[in-house]
Amino acid sequence: GDSVTQMEGPVTLSEEAFLTINCTYTATGYPSLFWYVQYPGEGLQLLLKATKADDKGSNKGFEATYRKETTSFHLEKGSVQVSDSAVYFCALSDRLGKNRDDKIIFGKGTRLHILP
């Protein structure tokens, strides 16, 4: 079945460092790809998404590019802040697949700590 694999955490960086969180996926169809973020004590929030190959999703300085040839959707940010400390989930939804549903399949999450 469809699945998402992301780098394990925790990831600890100093403020203003460059961030990369790797994510690869397996899907039988042509999925939409997402990054969700979960801040401490809060619910899941959509950070960014991309729906087709070579699309770049971006939000709050974070970016990820849909790479069909490598089945990847790595999350990057040029200069992280303490407020970026959270758990990040890579996810996919195969809305155009056989079942035409948009249930989301999540990776296990990567906890990010940013030190001041």
Partner 1 sequence: DTGVSQDPRHKITKRGQNVTFRCDPISEHNRLYWYRQTLGQGPEFLTYFQNEAQLEKSRLLSDRFSAERPKGSFSTLEIQRTEQGDSAMYLCASSLIQLAGEDVTQYFGPGTRLLVL
Smallest separation, CB 46 to partner 1 (Å):
6
Contact status: 56 vs partner 1 (CB under 8 A) = no
Only one of the segments 54-62, 64-72, 74-82, 105-113 lies at the binding site for partner 1 (rule: CB under 8 A); that segment is 105-113
- Nearest-angstrom CA–CA distance, 114 and 116: 7
CA 38 centroid distance within chain: 11
Contact status: 107 vs partner 1 (CB under 8 A) = yes
User: Closer to partner 1 at the Cβ: 19 or 47?
Assistant: 47
Residues between 26 and 55 that touch partner 1 (CB under 8 A): 32, 42-46, 49, 51
Closest C-alpha to 94, from 18, 44, 25: 25
CB contact set of 106 (below 8 Å; sequence gap of 6+): 4, 36, 89, 90, 91
